[in-house]
A and B are shown apart, each in its own frame.
Chain A
Amino acid sequence: MDHVSFIVGGYVVTFIAVGAYVLRMFRQARKINGAMAESDKPWR
C-alpha cells in the first residue's frame, strides 16, 4: 500500500478525535450526575 502514513493517519486521527470527544462527554456526565435525581432522568 502506498502512502501508508497518510491513509492510516486519517483513520487514527478520526478514531482519536471521536474517542477524545466521547471520553470528555462521559467525564462531564459523571461530574454533573448529581444535579438530577435518578427518578427525574427521563431515560432511566
Chain B
Amino acid sequence: MNSIHPFPSPVDTPTGTRASRGLGIVVFLGMVFLTLLGLFFTDEDVVQGSTVRLMYIHVPTAWVAYLAFIVTAVTSAMYMWGKQHSLTFDRIAGASAEVGVIFMGLCLVTGSLWGRITWGTYWQWDPRLTTTAFLFVTYVGYLAVRDLGGSHHQRAKRSGVVALLAVLEIPLVHFSVVLWRSLHQEASVLQPNGDVTMDGLMLFSLLFGVAVFTLLFSWMVLHRQRVLALADAIEDGGLETALQERRNEAN
C-alpha cells in the first residue's frame, strides 16, 4: 500500500527520472555553494557594505521570474500557433508562470529587506518597485484565469492570450529605472555602455547565482508540468466517468 509521507524523498517521486534526480543534486549542491559564497567567501561592498550579500539571491530571483514569464509566453504561443495544439506546451506555460510567481514574490521580499537596510523603509512607490509589484499581481491573475474551469483547450487558449499580453510588462519593469527617476539602482552587470562595475568574486557569485537559480527553475518546471499532466489525466478520467453515467441514464 502506498502511503503519503510528509517529507517525501525526491528520489522516489512519481515525476522523477534519473536525469531529473541528477539535475536536482546539482541544484542542491549549487545552492549550498552559493550560500557559502554569498554569506562567507565574498567581501563586503565599499558602498553597500554587507547588504550586497542579499544581491546574490535578489538578482537571480528577478532574473528567473523574467525568464519564467518569457517561457510562459513562448510556450503559450507554441500552443496557440502550433499545428497540434499540444497541451504539453500549455502545461509548461502554467508550470513556468507558477514558479515565476514564487520567484517574483521572493524578489519583492528580498528587495524589501535590502531596502529596509539601505533606504530605511521596506517599501517605496518607486517606479521599479511598483512595476514589479504590478507584474507579480498580473501573473497571480494569470494563474487565477487558468483555474476558471472549462476544458483543457479552453484553459490553454484563454490563459495563452493573457500570457502574451502580460509578458509585455517585462520591458517596462526592466527599463523603469532608466525611463523614470528611481531610487532603485541601475543595472550593475548589463549597463548600456557595456561597462561592468563589479569585483571579480562578486561578479562570479552573482553570475553563479543566476546559473544555479536558472537550473532550479528548470528542475521545478520539469516536475511541475508532470504533476499538471497527472492532474489533467485525473480530470479527463472524471469527465469520462460522468459521460458514461449520462449515457447509461439515457439508455
Contact = CB atoms under 8 A, between A and B. Distances in A.
B247 to A, nearest CB: 22
A27 to B, nearest CB: 6
A35 B117 contact: no
B39 A11 contact: yes
Interface in B1-30: 2, 4-8, 10, 13-15, 17, 20
B154 interface: no
Contacts, number: 114
A13 B51 CA distance: 16
A3 to B, nearest CB: 5
> In which size bucket is the chain A interface?
20 to 34
Contact of B102 (A18, A23, A33, A36): A18
Contact of A29 (B13, B44, B237): B13
Interface of B: 2, 4-8, 10, 13-15, 17, 20, 31, 35, 38-39, 44, 49-51, 53-54, 57-58, 61, 99, 102, 105-106, 109-110, 113-114, 116-117, 216, 220, 223-224, 226-227, 229-231, 233-234, 237
